[in-house]
Structures are given as C-alpha cells and as structure tokens.
C-alpha cells in the first residue's frame, strides 16, 4: 500500500487553510494510508518528515492563489505531486461543513486514482542493489556486502556522492542478537572517527554505535526507533544508522574492504564461538 | 602448554595492528570504585571478560586488558561512581596509524 502524504495549506487563520486542514484530518481518521504533512517540517527538511514525504504519494491542498503547498512540494524535489486548488473544488458552497465534505470527496477520488509514480527515487534508502559475499561458519552464515568499507568495530560505510552512510555489519547484528532499542544521536552532531554516537540494546548486550568516519550527521534512520528489528533483518539496507557529511573521505582508507573484512569477521566469529564452548 | 587458555586474549589484530600494541583498556580509580557494594556493574555489563573483582577488596580490577574492544567505552557509562576512564581516542588512533605506516 502506497502511503498518501497530504500537505494542507498552512493558512490556518483563513478559510482555505481551515477547510484543507479539516478535510485532511478527517480523512486521516478514516483511512490508514493517509498521513498529514507539515509545511513547517517540510520547509525545515526534518528527517522524519522527509522520509514520509519521499516515500509517499503527495497531495497538495492549495488554499489560496499563492499555492504554497504545491510550491513547497516542488522545491522539495517532487514534481509528481497532485495539486488540489480549494476554491476550484468547493466552488460556491457556502457553509464550512459542506466545503470540507466536498474537498474530502475530491481528495478521495484523487487518492484512489492509481497513478504510477513518476519519480520513485527514495534518497533516504540505500540507493543500489546489495551484492553479498557469504561464508558459512559453524551454523552461521556470515554476509558481507560488497563495495562497502568496514571498521574493526564491525560498522560499514558506503560512499554516496559527497556523503557517506553507515550501519552495522551482518556479523555484529548476529553477535548482538535481537535489537529492541536504538538511540540515535541528533542531526548536526559532529563526530570524530571512532567516536560513539548513540547505542543499540539487544536481548544480549548494549553496544555503542562507534562511527567509523569523522563528519557531521546529516540524516539519522529514525525508523529504527519504531522498528529496531530492521538492524537484524536488513543490516545493509533498511537498518542503516546515519548519513554523514565526512570531514575527510581519505579516512576510509583506514578501513577494510569487503573480502578483508570477511576474513577478519570469520576469525572473530571463531573466537566468539570458542569462548562459548569453554 | 597452551598459556592462553587461562587468559583468553584474542590473537586478533585491530586495524592491522597487533592488539597487544594498542594500550586501550579501562583504568579504574580505586579511590572512587566501591564495587557497587558487590554488584560490580562494569563486570556484569562487559561481555568480553575484561574485569575481575579484586580479591580481599570490594573493588574491581582489569583482568584481561586486551579483551577490551578498542574504542568501546560503554562500561564507563555504566559506572555509578564515574570511576572508569579510557585513553584519548585521538592518541590511540594516531598510534594505530603510526604502527600501520611501519
């Protein structure tokens, strides 16, 4: 089910804003697939808002001729949003309730038109197919994603243009077992290489997030707050932790490539198993 | 005789440097440590067997320093007396870089 992100006009003190707000709120109550966007949060590019925004179909409710909602949607990179101009829809209806009902009908029609997404680029998810190297050890299968760099603390880094994304390796995920709580550092936090920023708590252990590169955090995977299990289910993909703007990309030369890390992780896995047997 | 069996220090390197060349482990301030009145929060917390209670004293000691995960200082945050400290990360990273350059 594709989510529907409705961006109501922010002119709450004016008729168009009031009608669009009321219609959006009522629709969100009766439909599970509808979420209400915030002009303010979208303007400030708050990470949670941006995630919802990028992963949903967008419907802009324009309360007056300024078309602020549609303009902002365009400015935030969406040219496939649906614009609904309130005064065109409600026309000559006089009373407030009548206007809200009419707008809800119109919005529902638009939402239910199954339109193919023109742009499906979701920048907050890792952008490429993940190719894995797999090695069996004891009853474990270790998976190491190709093309990433790895720290000896078992975190990965991928380069995405001028930014880097970091997460935990499959080995660390397996060693931790089920993660049930993730605390992430705030956007804008600056870390030096191997500083800790946030933590993960599993049924077995509490692990600091040791960031494998110096830089400023520009995005944090806040979906982990509700779904910490992504770390176990999908450590190289949905379980990513941060996107950073690195201070010095050359630092990554200190880290291991995938094959090298596999050798290291296997040795560590043997060590861990050995401890348990003792 | 396997002398490592009583002291399970990893044969592993860290970032290509022998672990035993990297002086990263906790230091306990014995003035402040009171062994959490026998609870030893750090001992209970650390899964790597770094700590061991001191005999004849209700305090903690570092038993296996090279088991300590380089750059991890999570136990420090567990200590209610703030009696655990670690070396500077920057100094350790510089040391690792120097060793790698050899």
Q: Which two tokens stand for residue A108?
A: 């529902």
H helix or E strand, kind and range, residue A216: strand A215-220
Strand partners, A141: A136
- Number of domains chain A is built from: 2
Last residue within a domain, chosen from A112, A140, A161: A112
DSSP state of A256: B
- Cα B77 to its chain centre, rounded Å, is 14
Q: How far apart are the first and last CA of chain A?
A: 50
Determine, yes or no, domain membership for A272: yes
* A35 and A155 both lie in a single domain: no
- Give the full edge-to-edge strand order of the sheet including A242-246: A149-150, A155-160, A163-168, A242-246, A215-220, A190-191
Residue matched to tokens 């089910």: A1
* A143 and A233 both lie in a single domain: yes
Q: Which two tokens stand for residue B29?
A: 């301030």
Between A45 and A209, the more confident residue is A209
Residue A118 in this model has a pLDDT that exceeds 50: no
Q: How far apart are CA B24 and CA B100, in angstroms?
A: 16
Residue-level length of chain B: 102
Q: Say whether B74 and A206 touch across the interface (CB within 8 A).
A: yes
Q: Say whether B47 and A205 touch across the interface (CB within 8 A).
A: yes
* A10 and A50 both lie in a single domain: yes
Residue matched to tokens 């979420």: A35
Determine, yes or no, domain membership for A122: no
Q: How far apart are CA A143 and CA A169, in angstroms?
A: 8
Q: Which residue of A has its CA nearest to B101?
A: A254
Q: Which two tokens stand for residue A253?
A: 């030369």
> What φ, ψ does residue A188 adopt, rounded to 5°?
95, -15
DSSP of A257-275, one letter per residue? -HHHHHHHHHHHHHHHHHH
**pLDDT at site A127:** 57
Q: Residue A169: which of A107, A111, A212 has the closest Cα?
A: A212
Determine, yes or no, domain membership for A119: no
Query: ipTM, 2 decimals?
Result: 0.82
* A255 and A152 both lie in a single domain: yes
* Domain around A167: 132-277
Say which CATH class B16-101 falls into.
alpha beta
Q: Which two tokens stand for residue A109?
A: 């029609």
Last residue within a domain, chosen from A78, A112, A146: A112
3-state helix, strand, coil in chain B (%, to 5): 30, 15, 55
Residues of A in contact with B70 (CB under 8 A): 152-153
DSSP of A57-107, one letter per residue? EEEEEE-STT-HHHHHHHHTT-SS-EEEEHHHHHTT--SHHHHHHHHHHHH
Band of the pLDDT at A126, cuts 50, 70, 90?
low
Asked if the C-beta of B61 comes within 8 angstroms of chain A's C-beta atoms, the answer is: no
Mutation target to probe the B interface, by most B beta carbons within 10 A, among A181, A208, A251, A269 is A208
Asked if the C-beta of B45 comes within 8 angstroms of chain A's C-beta atoms, the answer is: yes
| Residues of chain A with a CB closer than 8 angstroms to some CB in chain B | 151-153, 192-196, 199, 204-208, 210, 254, 264, 267-268, 271, 274-275, 278
Q: Which two tokens stand for residue A262?
A: 């596999």
| Domain extent listing, chain B | 16-101
Determine, yes or no, domain membership for A51: yes
Strand partners, A150: A156, A256
Q: Say whether B71 and A210 touch across the interface (CB within 8 A).
A: yes
Determine, yes or no, domain membership for A33: yes
CATH number at residue A152: 2.40.50.100
* A107 and A137 both lie in a single domain: no
H helix or E strand, kind and range, residue A111: helix A96-112
Q: What is the mean pLDDT of residues A218-245?
A: 94
* A62 and A142 both lie in a single domain: no
Determine, yes or no, domain membership for A80: yes
Band of the pLDDT at A130, cuts 50, 70, 90?
confident
Residue B7 in this model has a pLDDT that exceeds 50: no
For residues A58 and A30, the answer to whether their CB atoms sit within 8 Å is: no
**Closest in B49, B72, B89 to A192, CB measured:** B89
* A180 and A267 both lie in a single domain: yes
How much of chain A, in percent, has pLDDT values that exceed 70?
92
Q: Of the ranges A124-138, A201-215, A231-245, B16-30, which one carries the lowest mean pLDDT score?
A: A124-138
Cα angle: A259, vertex A264, A266; to 5 degrees: 95
Residue matched to tokens 């190289």: A236
pLDDT, one tens digit per residue, over A254-277 is 999 999 999 999 988 887 776 655
What is chain A's mean pLDDT, rounded? 88
> What φ, ψ does residue A47 adopt, rounded to 5°?
-55, -45
Residue A115 in this model has a pLDDT that exceeds 70: no
| HSE, side-chain direction, 13 A CA sphere, residue A159 | 14
* A150 and A99 both lie in a single domain: no
Determine, yes or no, domain membership for A123: no
* A271 and A136 both lie in a single domain: yes
Determine, yes or no, domain membership for A229: yes
Burial B21-44 (b: 16+ CB within 10 A, else e): ebebbbebeeeebebbeeebbbbe
* A66 and A136 both lie in a single domain: no
Q: Number of CB pairs < 8 Å for A and B?
A: 45
> What φ, ψ does residue A122 adopt, rounded to 5°?
-115, 100
For residues B38 and B22, the answer to whether their CB atoms sit within 8 Å is: no
Query: Which span out of A105-114, A267-276, B66-75 was modeled with the highest average pLDDT?
Result: B66-75
Q: Say whether B93 and A271 touch across the interface (CB within 8 A).
A: no
* A259 and A151 both lie in a single domain: yes
Closest-CA distance, B101 to chain A, in angstroms, reads: 11
Cα torsion B28, B33, B38, B41: sign: negative
* A146 and A104 both lie in a single domain: no
CATH number at residue A7: 3.40.50
């Amino acid at each position: 089910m594709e989510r529907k992100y409705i961006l109501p006009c922010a002119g709450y003190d004016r008729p168009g804003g009031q009608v669009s707000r009321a219609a959006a709120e009522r629709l969100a109550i009766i439909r599970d697939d509808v979420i209400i966007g915030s002009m303010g949060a979208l303007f400030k590019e708050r990470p949670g808002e941006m995630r919802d925004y990028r992963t949903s179909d967008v419907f802009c409710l324009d309360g007056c001729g300024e078309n602020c909602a549609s303009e902002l949607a365009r400015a935030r990179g969406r040219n496939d949003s649906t614009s609904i101009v309130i005064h065109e829809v409600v026309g000559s209806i006089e009373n407030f309730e009548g206007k809200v009902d009419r707008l809800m009908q119109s919005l529902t029609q638009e939402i239910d038109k199954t339109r193919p997404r023109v742009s499906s680029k979701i920048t907050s998810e890792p952008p490429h197919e993940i190719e894995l190297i797999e090695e069996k050890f004891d009853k474990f299968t270790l998976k190491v994603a190709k093309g990433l760099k790895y720290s000896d603390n078992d975190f990965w880094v991928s380069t995405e243009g001028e930014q880097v994304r970091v997460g935990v390796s499959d080995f660390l995920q397996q060693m931790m077992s089920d993660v049930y709580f993730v605390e992430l550092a705030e956007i804008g936090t600056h870390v030096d290489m191997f500083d800790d920023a946030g933590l993960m708590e599993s049924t077995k252990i509490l692990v600091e997030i040791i960031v494998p590169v110096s830089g400023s955090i520009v995005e944090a995977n806040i979906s982990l707050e509700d779904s910490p299990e992504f770390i176990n289910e999908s450590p190289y993909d949905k379980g990513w932790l941060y996107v950073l703007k690195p201070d010095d990309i050359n630092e990554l030369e200190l880290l291991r490539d995938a094959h090298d890390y596999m050798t290291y992780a296997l040795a560590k896995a043997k060590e861990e198993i050995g401890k348990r047997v003792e | 005789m396997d002398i490592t069996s009583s002291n399970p220090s990893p044969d592993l390197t860290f970032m290509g440097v022998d672990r035993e060349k990297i002086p990263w482990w906790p230091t306990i301030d014995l003035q402040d440590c009171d062994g959490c009145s026998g609870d030893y929060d750090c001992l209970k917390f650390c899964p790597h067997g770094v700590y061991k209670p001191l005999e004849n004293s209700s305090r903690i000691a570092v038993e296996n320093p090279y088991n300590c995960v380089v750059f991890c200082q999570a136990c420090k945050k567990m200590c209610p007396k703030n009696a655990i400290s670690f070396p500077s990360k920057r100094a350790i990273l510089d040391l690792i870089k120097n060793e790698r350059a050899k």
